[in-house]
Structure 1
């Protein structure tokens, strides 16, 4: 059984000896490994999901604005009882740059198939209803979503974005980062020596080299180039416990196109 890391930043983590999947939020400190700092607000659907502890809020996951009142994120980001808020138009965490919109979360909808004890089963997706609708402008925009069932080909160009760790065991990035992660086709990613049977056909693999997602990136988008525009094809889910950018253990994402009917049923 492979071990994995779910990429959020709430709890402490212990690296395992075998490459099992791991939640990317399981870190006491909590950016994209490799890559570069993104141009401010160049991914205007990217949000910071934050939880309250005491009198302060802390970044734990990413997400994508899919409707003015709705955010898509990973189930494992929101499967605990906390007070949440979403920050849109964010670039530098905890610095007011005048473009941010901070909106409370009124309700969380976790996919009914999600089981935190069986991450490899999939269903790592959730919808967050905002207490008020976002104002769309040049800094805050809706994500484009794929068509139902759409599967991208091997090596399709994509970028992961997030404020997660800059290296395995590293610290959070204060500024939004991006890293180029081409798609790894399912037949390759599910083969022996890669992720094997841990990866299901409702998931997308991307990367597998020096760049990857890491703790703090969970729930954020895999932004893929399709017909001249960026489409959010994945929700960041897990990496290998051997390290965020372990060779032939690409970052694994929930495949958005497999869950569109569920999303439409929730959002109406």
Structure 2
């Protein structure tokens, strides 16, 4: 990589007095100085960068006269450089996503190999949270297994919206993958007859006559099976995202009558069975 690809800038060897130096990277015998976007200086030994990265130091860099201004924040660089040195690496288990994501990008940008591996594992482990950002990261850096984990979690995005962000080689695989979920959505809308197969009736439940074992009048079950079906259909109309949120789609909280719950559960089970047959995105790549 050259300086332009890395987005680095060589600045004057005159260190401004208002700049502070990292407490972790302040060795006086270091032969490289990097400046973060927020004005923190990092004194780094070139030999560790050469051994553990491919992106440092930038081509044409004169270690005797140059300070390199990097585009990353000091929080990111302080973590990144710890992966470069022969010491215990930082534990990223408790690092918030807002810190993890830029670190993962910096690791890829500068090809800091050990940081790349750890960040990849942590990004995958963050799912199901931040699915869209993690999918972008996986696509950008070609991590198919992470794409496969994030793909079902971004079904709330329209097909057009996803395709606009994908590279050309992933468009057909995503269309094929998405079609499987679209077909499942059609199936979910058509298989509601399973609740009738249980022999349930469609009689209206009168709230004034339903009593539970505690002998208190139930005031919430005045619904019919048709009402329950409409409730599920309303959720299915949200699109494929409804299939990734089955607790909401087949919500039983509004049904307190045991005559309704078995049918709702059977409907959900039928959908889950077909869902289990959908291949991972990786199989389409």
TM-score, length-scaled by structure 2: 0.18
Higher strand share: 1
Larger Rg: 2
Structure number with the bigger relative contact order (C-alpha 8 A, sep ≥ 6) is: 1
